[in-house]
Every structure is written in C-alpha cells, then in structure tokens.
C-alpha cells in the first residue's frame, strides 16, 4: 500500500492517482549519490517546492531528504546539509515525518542515521554481491545496535529478462527463475521482521538507463516486476499477488521455460489459497498445503500438460521434454559479473583467471583468511581509507565484515 517516488519531482497527476487508490507515498528530491559541487542551494529550492506544492496531498506520509547520498563517503558538511534540510521540512510541514534512503555501505552507527525521523536502506544482497540471507542478518544487526530507530528497506531487487531461464538459477544469470527465488527469500525476510516500518521493491517496471548494458539488453534496468512496455507481468509479479492480495489467485511459474531435459522437473505454484492441487496430463498428481509458494517435483519422461487448481480457480502450463539443454534460454556469462550502476566505465573487459592465484571471482572472506593475500588486501584497504580521510570522507571500514561473502 505504498509508493516510493524516487528520485525526483513527480507529476501531480500521479499524486492524484495515489489518493484515488489510497496509497501511502514517500516523496523525495533528487539529492542523490555524489552531491554536485555548489549545488546545495538547488537542493534547498527543490525541497521547498516539493513540500509547498504537495502539502495538501493526503497520501504523502514522509518527505525524503536524499538517496544513497554517501556513495562518495561521509563528511561533516554532508551531515550539516541534511540537518538543514530536515529543519527546513519541519518548518514547512511539522505534521509529517522525514526520511532518508541510505546506501548499504553506510555504517550502522553513522550520524547520518540520526537526522531524519525514520530511515531506510537500499540493499541488494543476493544480486550485486553476497547472498539473500545477508539481508536478514544485516537488518537484525542494525535493529540490535539501534533498537529505537525506525528502520525500513527503500530498495531491493534483481534483474530478470523474459528469455532467460534455468532449472538451477543462480545470482547474476538474469533468469526469471532467479528473480522469483530472490523475491521469495526477501518477502520471507520481511514477513518475519515486523520491526520494519516499510519495504519498497525496486522496481515495479523495467526502466530506461542510458549507460546500462546488462543481461543482453542495452539501455535498460530490468529489475521490474513488469516489462518496460507495461504489457507482460514477470513471475515475480504474481509472487507479490500471493503475498499481498486477498482476491483468490493462482499462478504456475516458468511458463516461458518450455523446453526442459531433466528427469524430474520443478513446478512452482504461487497462490493465496491454503491448498493447491496439481494435475499432470489430466490426472491428479498431488495436493499440497500452500503458504504463498508450493513446489511440486514432477517426473519428466514425456511432454507435460500442467494444471494447478485451488478453491475453484486454476492456471495451466506446458512443458516439452527435450534431449539436451536448450541453449537459447541461457545467457552467456561475462567474466565481469553484474555491473553496479555507479561504475562509470561500463566497458566489458574479457579477463583470464590463472590457476593458483586469487581473482575477482574469489570471496573477500577467503582472501582475508589467506596469510599472504590477507596482508595485501588489508594494506590496500588501509591506503584507501587514508586517502578518503585526507579528502574529508569517513569510509565504513567495518563493512568488510559484512562483505565477507561478496566477491
């Protein structure tokens, strides 16, 4: 029941739609990433305009001061600028809360987390690095260290492109199956942590980004639950229906993954009903209890017509038995992995990896634990921190402990 309107001014028509369908709104200004030199006056101007122009919109609950503003590091100047923005908003509108969307690398003890009324973090553990389980670990750690701070998740997500599929999805493969796995894990993480004030999935729709070139698609961020043209709902969209809606629904995942060669294939069904029955080639295969997601493991020795039924509703799918993997479903993996959007040089470089040497494929924890490599890595980090401090920035060195599972 909430929209994060990121990261710029939005048309009034959209606010009116939010009011019409009773959605809670987080509205924010484009004070983002690395502050523009001498650009703070513009941030002040935009904050005034945002609040004054939209003060009477009842859907707005929080005013956003900034997004991932510490990507370039922390500084006393940045802290003071946010205190100024927060004070300004409180003077213009004492009735609403203020918030910030922090970047993962910002340390949990940062003063930046104690300026606005509430805060949220943008986390992509399980996509840009780490594992999906790291999200819950991080959230619990923050909550333990800051039990009186109201914490949320302002961005989380991963990319899926409709033509890529796998029976064994993995981080960075851009398959619909991995995106569904990721969102299922995150929804379970949030469901079991009631202390979160809000969570915002990134993003409802695929959207254009000029410098991106990922997953075989140029100029696009593919994290949407729905395609760029707003026409096709990805499997993850129906996963959210199962979790968030009460109107009876059922959906068989991976319909676009038709050609399969395994002896036993996995059939995932999403539903908000308590029980699901699966029919295979017109015969009842199995009935199972359902808690949003139910898995059926079906022998695949011939073509399969699949029908899932629950409480008078149904969905159908078709699986074709083939002799070998269909390579048209598989994205040829790049050695460079998933690219962060803030990496300015998006040019792909073909890399070679020699036996007996560490590389960017190895996890930080493994490198740190090696006697020789650990010293080299720590020396690099110490120099990095020293340079940052000389430029007035305090970098979150403690993040390395959390990043142990990152490459």
The pLDDT of residue 222 is above 90: yes
Predicted pLDDT at 211: 81
Q: Using the 8-state DSSP alphabet, how is residue 32 labeled? A: B
Of the ranges 38-47, 97-106, 297-306, 361-370, which one carries the lowest mean pLDDT score? 361-370
The 3-class SS string of 195-252 reads CCCCECCCCCECEEEEEEEECCEEEEECCCCECCCCCCECHHHHHHHHHHCCCCCEEE
Token pair belonging to 279: 């029919």
Token pair belonging to 358: 């560490």
Give this prediction's pTM: 0.84
Predicted pLDDT at 406: 66
Which H helix or E strand runs over 180?
Answer: helix 176-191
Which H helix or E strand runs over 278?
Answer: strand 275-280
Ramachandran bin of 282, using left for φ above 0, alpha for ψ from -120 to 50, beta for the remaining angles: left
- For the ranges 37-41, 45-49, 106-110, 384-388, the maximum mean pLDDT occurs at 45-49
The Cα–Cα gap between 296 and 285 comes to 9
Mean pLDDT of the chain: 91
Active site residue 76: no
pLDDT band at 337 (very low <50, low <70, confident <90, very high): low
68, 74, 176, 214: which is the annotated catalytic residue?
A: 68
Predicted pLDDT at 404: 67
Asked if 175 and 163 touch (Cβ cutoff 8 Å), the reply is no
pLDDT one-digit tens code per residue, 163-182: 999 999 999 999 999 999 99
The pLDDT of residue 339 is above 70: no
The pLDDT of residue 207 is above 50: yes
Per the listing, tokens 């998933």 go with: 338
pLDDT band at 334 (very low <50, low <70, confident <90, very high): low
Bridging pattern class, strands 97-103 and 207-214: unpaired
Predicted pLDDT at 336: 46
Q: Long-range contacts: 220-229, Cβ < 8 Å, 24+?
A: 221/159, 221/341, 222/159, 222/160, 222/161, 222/174, 223/157, 223/158, 223/159, 223/160, 225/201, 227/162
Which H helix or E strand runs over 321?
Answer: strand 313-321
pLDDT one-digit tens code per residue, 43-79: 999 999 999 999 999 999 999 999 999 987 889 999 9
Asked if 66 and 34 touch (Cβ cutoff 8 Å), the reply is no
**Cα 257 to the chain's mean position, in Å?**
23
pLDDT band at 190 (very low <50, low <70, confident <90, very high): very high
């Amino acid at each position: 029941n909430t929209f994060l309107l990121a990261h710029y001014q939005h048309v009034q028509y959209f606010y009116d739609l939010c009011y019409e369908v009773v959605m809670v709104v987080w509205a924010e200004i484009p004070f983002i990433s690395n502050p523009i030199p001498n650009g703070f006056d513009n941030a002040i101007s935009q904050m005034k305009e945002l609040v004054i122009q939209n003060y009477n919109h009842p859907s707005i609950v929080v005013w956003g001061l900034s997004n991932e503003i510490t990507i370039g590091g922390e500084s006393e100047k940045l802290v003071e600028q946010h205190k100024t923005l927060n004070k300004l908003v409180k003077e213009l509108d004492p009735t609403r809360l203020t918030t910030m969307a922090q970047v993962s690398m910002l340390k949990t003890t940062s003063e930046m987390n104690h300026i606005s009324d509430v805060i949220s973090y943008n986390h992509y553990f399980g996509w840009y690095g780490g594992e999906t389980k790291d999200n819950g670990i991080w959230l619990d750690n923050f909550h333990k260290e800051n039990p009186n701070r109201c914490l949320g998740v302002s961005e989380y997500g991963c990319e899926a492109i409709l033509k890529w599929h796998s029976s064994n999805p993995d981080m960075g493969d851009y398959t619909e199956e991995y995106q569904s796995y990721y969102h299922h894990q995150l929804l379970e993480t949030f469901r079991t942590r009631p202390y979160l004030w809000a969570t915002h999935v990134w993003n409802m729709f695929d959207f254009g980004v000029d410098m991106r070139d990922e997953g075989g698609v140029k100029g696009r961020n593919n994290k949407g639950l729905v395609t760029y043209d707003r026409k096709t709902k990805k499997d993850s969209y129906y996963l959210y229906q199962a979790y968030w809606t009460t109107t009876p629904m059922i959906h068989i995942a991976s319909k676009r993954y038709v050609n399969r060669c395994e002896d036993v294939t996995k059939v995932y069904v999403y539903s908000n009903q308590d029980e699901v029955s699966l029919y295979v080639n017109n015969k009842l295969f199995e009935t199972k209890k359902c808690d949003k997601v139910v898995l059926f493991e079906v022998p695949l020795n011939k073509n399969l017509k699949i029908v899932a039924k629950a409480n008078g509703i149904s969905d159908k799918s078709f699986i074709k038995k083939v002799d070998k993997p269909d390579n048209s479903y598989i994205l040829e993996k790049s050695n460079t992995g998933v690219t962060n959007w803030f990496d300015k040089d998006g040019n792909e470089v073909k890399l070679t990896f020699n036996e007996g040497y560490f590389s960017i494929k190895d996890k930080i924890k493994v490198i740190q634990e090696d006697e020789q490599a650990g010293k080299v890595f720590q020396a690099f980090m110490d120099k990095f921190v020293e340079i940052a401090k000389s430029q007035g920035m305090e970098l979150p060195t403690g993040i390395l402990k959390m990043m142990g599972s990152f490459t």
